């Protein structure tokens, strides 16, 4: 007989596969260079729509140039058709009408293209942010607040989108102001210089306003997120709030958060009240100077009356971008603050990722092994240390231990929700770091002790992991989880829409639907994390009878807090302070291990149950 070689014992080769999303993904992402300014990092996204964006700016420029031509025609009409008639007035009237119509058409095209580009930009950024959040590891969500994330995905992105829409229009107006100044120089150089005398002061005020606006803009966005967090927690925790009659406390908490937002907005309004009037009214001083010095020049015969009217019209054109300068500065600083908050998420790298060359895990045997595992959440103390255990093919292993002994943490490592600090976790001999994350979670199913249901029908919740499952398969999974009986009694049966998080159902009903959801996927490895904790003993027995058949040919890890659940296991591992201190059958441990008997006594104790 041929000797068994190391190669023969090695796991069978696997092949990488790619997974694709079905929605229209953005063609580019933000620039990863964190040293660049926020708007430069968004350039790749804008560049994917450069054709409509540039076209919008060109049309906007043409529209404004056409408007700039009208004051010059007005000057000529007064001088050549009224003061010294040499050209019919109708000639200039016709030209002005045609120019106004053309300016209106290209202005419409400009705004349509610009707003469409801005909304597409908002779509791309929001989807990039959500996609990135969906890829982030559990360690990120351990410290993140839901309200903060919602605020970034809504109001912060909206602030950037608004700036993306209006800033180019205002910048084009500023560029056209240069053209208007050129026409003014062609009429009278001295008067043009007098008209622009206040512009350096406007520039200095704009710079000052920008410096003081950024901090308060950041504070506004942060405090709006605090309000969103308070509202989110109050809604999701409404049952706890009402059970302790603490509605008044939550109202006070929201009022405090709202008061901080109001203070921020008041501070923002105070800054704008100090700077915006100067920005808007300084151009009026230029108008006064033009009337004074231009009038003197007309009286002395150095300038025509039409030139005064043309200068006034040009100053009105010049006023538009300066009148909007205050709003642009305010929007720019708010967009910058929002961008910083968005980059706080986009710049976070996921802890759990597919390493280069990772392959898909295909479970053929169903063995699982923890070897010398050490793990801690963040900077906290070790939850698991020197954790070593092997689960054989088709075996049901129960983890038993006091609260905080690391039972649920071991299950999370097997799902690769986290990676161990030291040691390794493997399935069928494949280290989980060497296989794709999606394939691990496709081959390992978990039923948590706190089941989450979506605001959808019961059938859709059960078929969440396998959306194309037939109704017969859904019913079969529900029957196996002992959920079919209560589902049939609901008004619309499997088409009954459950409330948010499934709170229209009892805790036991939610757990049974969660069990059915996992059983429908039929994973070769199953984790039951105290999955029947909210189910009464009679129902639990019937579920266990069904599970006995379902677990017969699959590897199962059970987080056990009940003797009835432990009875499902072939072997039991006793945990203490994150390490395995004893392992064997329930009967052997009961007979030989005092600590095991003590833990089980605490599990069955009414005091322990109430805790």
CA distances from 333 to 213, 243, 330 (A): 6, 43, 5
pLDDT digit string (tens) for 457-502?
899 989 888 888 899 999 988 988 888 888 998 888 889 888 766 6
| Mean pLDDT, residues 581-606 | 84
Q: How far apart are CA 190 and CA 294, in angstroms?
A: 9
Q: How many CB atoms lie within 10 A of CB 253?
A: 16
pLDDT band at 27 (very low <50, low <70, confident <90, very high): confident
Q: Domain boundary at 316, 346, 376, which?
A: 346
Q: How far apart are CA 11 and CA 5, in angstroms?
A: 12
Q: How far apart are CA 333 and CA 339, in angstroms?
A: 10
Q: Are residues 300 and 423 in the same domain?
A: no
Residue 372: its H or E element: strand 368-376
- The sheet carrying 571-576 orders its strands as 444-447, 525-529, 555-559, 396-401, 571-576, 579-584
pLDDT band at 326 (very low <50, low <70, confident <90, very high): low
Which pLDDT score is estimated for 420? 93
Q: Are residues 298 and 424 in the same domain?
A: no
Which pLDDT score is estimated for 235? 66
125, part of any domain: yes
| Mean pLDDT, residues 503-510 | 78
pLDDT digit string (tens) for 515-533?
888 888 888 898 888 766 5
CA distances from 581 to 234, 273, 563 (A): 42, 70, 19
Of 449 and 366, the structure prediction assigns the larger pLDDT to 366
- When the pLDDT of each residue in the chain is averaged and rounded to a whole number, the result is 81
Q: Are residues 269 and 413 in the same domain?
A: no
**What contacts 464, CB < 8 A, 6 or more positions away?**
454, 517
We report the CATH number of the domain holding residue 130 as 1.20.1560.10
Q: Are residues 592 and 549 in the same domain?
A: yes
**What contacts 591, CB < 8 A, 6 or more positions away?**
none
CA contacts within 13 A on the Cβ side of 215: 5
Which pLDDT score is estimated for 240? 60
Closest CA to 94 of 73, 75, 64: 73
446, part of any domain: yes
Q: How far apart are CA 117 and CA 500, in angstroms?
A: 35
* Coil/strand/helix, residue 360: coil
Which pLDDT score is estimated for 10? 39
Which pLDDT score is estimated for 604? 58
Which pLDDT score is estimated for 611? 30
Q: Do residues 61 and 176 make contact, with C-beta atoms less than 8 angstroms apart?
A: yes
Q: Are residues 376 and 340 in the same domain?
A: no
Strands 571-576 and 579-584: antiparallel
Which pLDDT score is estimated for 11? 40
Q: Are residues 299 and 432 in the same domain?
A: no
Which pLDDT score is estimated for 410? 93
Of 495 and 197, the structure prediction assigns the larger pLDDT to 495
Least trusted range by pLDDT, from 306-315, 505-514, 565-574: 306-315
pLDDT band at 573 (very low <50, low <70, confident <90, very high): very high
DSSP string, 392-419: -TT-EEEEEESTTSSHHHHHHHHTTSS-
Domain count along the chain: 2
Which pLDDT score is estimated for 540? 62
pLDDT digit string (tens) for 72-95?
787 778 777 777 777 788 888 888
Instruction: Look at residue 12 and tell me whether its pLDDT is greater than 50.
Output: no
Q: How many CB atoms lie within 10 A of CB 499?
A: 10
pLDDT digit string (tens) for 236-280?
666 566 656 667 777 788 788 888 888 888 888 888 788 777 777
Q: Are residues 372 and 316 in the same domain?
A: no
| Mean pLDDT, residues 428-450 | 87
- The sheet carrying 382-391 orders its strands as 382-391, 368-376, 422-427, 430-431
Q: Are residues 317 and 373 in the same domain?
A: no
pLDDT band at 424 (very low <50, low <70, confident <90, very high): very high
We report the CATH number of the domain holding residue 533 as 3.40.50.300
**What contacts 332, CB < 8 A, 6 or more positions away?**
163, 167, 210
Q: How far apart are CA 389 and CA 420, in angstroms?
A: 14
Instruction: Look at residue 1 and tell me whether its pLDDT is greater than 60.
Output: no
Q: Are residues 322 and 379 in the same domain?
A: no
503, part of any domain: yes
User: In 3-state terms, the chain is what percent helix, strand and coil (to 5)?
Assistant: 65, 10, 25
Of 329 and 382, the structure prediction assigns the larger pLDDT to 382
| Mean pLDDT, residues 509-515 | 85
Q: How many CB atoms lie within 10 A of CB 451?
A: 22
pLDDT band at 552 (very low <50, low <70, confident <90, very high): low
Which pLDDT score is estimated for 182? 81
Instruction: Look at residue 608 and tell me whether its pLDDT is greater than 50.
Output: no
Determine the straight-line distance between the first and last CA of the chain, rounded to whole angstroms.
60
Backbone angles phi, psi at 419, to 5 degrees: -105, 140
Q: Percentage of the chain with pLDDT > 70?
A: 87
Which pLDDT score is estimated for 4? 36
Instruction: Look at residue 16 and tell me whether its pLDDT is greater than 60.
Output: no
| Mean pLDDT, residues 438-467 | 85
* Coil/strand/helix, residue 446: strand
Burial-class residue 258 by CB neighbours within 10 Å (0-12, 13-18, 19+).
Answer: middle
Least trusted range by pLDDT, from 117-121, 351-355, 467-471, 561-565: 561-565
DSSP string, 24-69: ---S------TTS-HHHHTHHHHHTTHHHHHHHHHHHHHHHHHHHH
Provide the domain limits for residue 132.
38-346
| Mean pLDDT, residues 166-192 | 79
Q: Domain boundary at 346, 381, 401, which?
A: 346
| Mean pLDDT, residues 129-136 | 85
Instruction: Look at residue 412 and tell me whether its pLDDT is greater than 50.
Output: yes
Instruction: Look at residue 170 and tell me whether its pLDDT is greater than 90.
Output: no
523, part of any domain: yes
Q: Are residues 374 and 337 in the same domain?
A: no
Q: Are residues 231 and 318 in the same domain?
A: yes
Q: Are residues 123 and 261 in the same domain?
A: yes
Instruction: Look at residue 344 and tell me whether its pLDDT is greater than 50.
Output: yes
Burial-class residue 204 by CB neighbours within 10 Å (0-12, 13-18, 19+).
Answer: exposed
| Mean pLDDT, residues 392-421 | 90
């Amino acid at each position: 007989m041929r000797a068994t070689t190391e190669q023969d014992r090695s796991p069978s080769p696997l092949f990488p596969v790619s997974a694709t999303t079905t929605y229209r993904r953005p063609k580019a992402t933000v620039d990863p260079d964190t040293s660049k300014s926020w708007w430069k990092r968004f350039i790749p996204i804008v560049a994917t729509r450069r054709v409509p964006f540039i076209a919008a700016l060109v049309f906007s420029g043409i529209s404004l140039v056409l408007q700039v031509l009208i004051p010059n025609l007005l000057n000529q009409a007064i001088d050549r058709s009224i003061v010294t008639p040499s050209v019919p007035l109708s000639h200039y009237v016709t030209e002005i009408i045609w120019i106004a119509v053309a300016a209106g058409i290209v202005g419409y095209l400009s705004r349509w293209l610009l707003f469409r580009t801005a909304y597409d930009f908002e779509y791309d950024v929001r989807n990039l942010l959500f996609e990135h959040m969906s890829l982030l590891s559990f360690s990120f969500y351990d410290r993140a607040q839901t309200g903060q994330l919602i605020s970034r995905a809504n109001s912060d992105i909206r602030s950037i989108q608004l700036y993306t829409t209006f800033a180019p229009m205002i910048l084009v107006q500023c560029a056209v102001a240069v053209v208007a100044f050129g026409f003014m120089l062609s009429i009278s150089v001295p008067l043009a210089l007098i008209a622009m005398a206040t512009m350096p002061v406007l520039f200095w005020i704009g710079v000052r306003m920008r410096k003081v606006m950024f901090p308060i803009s950041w504070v506004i966005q942060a405090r709006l997120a605090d309000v969103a967090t308070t509202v989110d927690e109050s809604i999701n925790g409404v049952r706890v709030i009402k059970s302790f009659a603490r509605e008044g406390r939550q109202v006070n908490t929201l009022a405090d958060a709202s008061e901080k937002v109001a203070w921020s907005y008041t501070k923002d309004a105070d800054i704008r009240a100090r700077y915006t009037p100067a920005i808007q009214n300084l151009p009026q001083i230029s108008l006064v100077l033009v009337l004074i010095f231009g009038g003197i020049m007309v009286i002395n015969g150095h300038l025509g009356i039409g030139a005064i009217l043309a200068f006034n019209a040009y100053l009105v054109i010049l006023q538009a971008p300066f009148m909007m300068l205050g709003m642009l500065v305010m929007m720019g600083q708010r967009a910058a603050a929002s961008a910083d908050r968005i980059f706080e998420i986009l710049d976070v790298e996921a802890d759990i990722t597919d390493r280069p060359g990772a392959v898909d895990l295909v479970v053929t045997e169903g063995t699982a092994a923890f070897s010398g595992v050490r793990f801690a959440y963040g900077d906290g103390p070790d939850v698991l240390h020197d954790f070593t255990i092997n689960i054989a093919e088709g075996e049901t292993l129960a983890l038993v231990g006091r609260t905080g002994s690391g039972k649920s943490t071991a299950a999370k490592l097997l799902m690769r929700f986290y990676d161990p600090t030291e040691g390794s976790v493997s399935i069928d001999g494949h280290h989980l770091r060497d296989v794709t994350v999606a394939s691990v979670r496709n081959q390992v199913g978990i039923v948590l002790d706190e089941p989450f249901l979506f605001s959808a029908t019961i059938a859709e919740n059960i078929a969440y992991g396998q959306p194309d499952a037939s109704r017969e398969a859904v019913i079969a999974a529900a029957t196996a989880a002992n959920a079919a009986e209560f589902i049939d009694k609901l008004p619309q049966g499997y088409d009954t829409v459950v409330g948010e998080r499934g709170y229209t159902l009892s805790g036991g009903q939610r757990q049974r639907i969660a069990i059915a959801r996992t059983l429908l996927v039929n994973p070769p490895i199953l984790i039951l994390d105290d999955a029947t904790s909210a189910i009464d003993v009679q129902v639990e027995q019937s579920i266990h009878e069904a599970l006995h058949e379902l677990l017969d040919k699959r590897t199962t890890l059970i987080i056990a807090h009940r003797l009835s659940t432990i009875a499902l296991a072939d072997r039991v591992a006793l945990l203490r302070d994150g390490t395995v201190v004893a392992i064997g059958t329930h009967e052997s441990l009961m007979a030989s291990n005092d600590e095991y008997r003590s833990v089980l006594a605490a599990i069955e104790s009414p005091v322990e149950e109430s805790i």
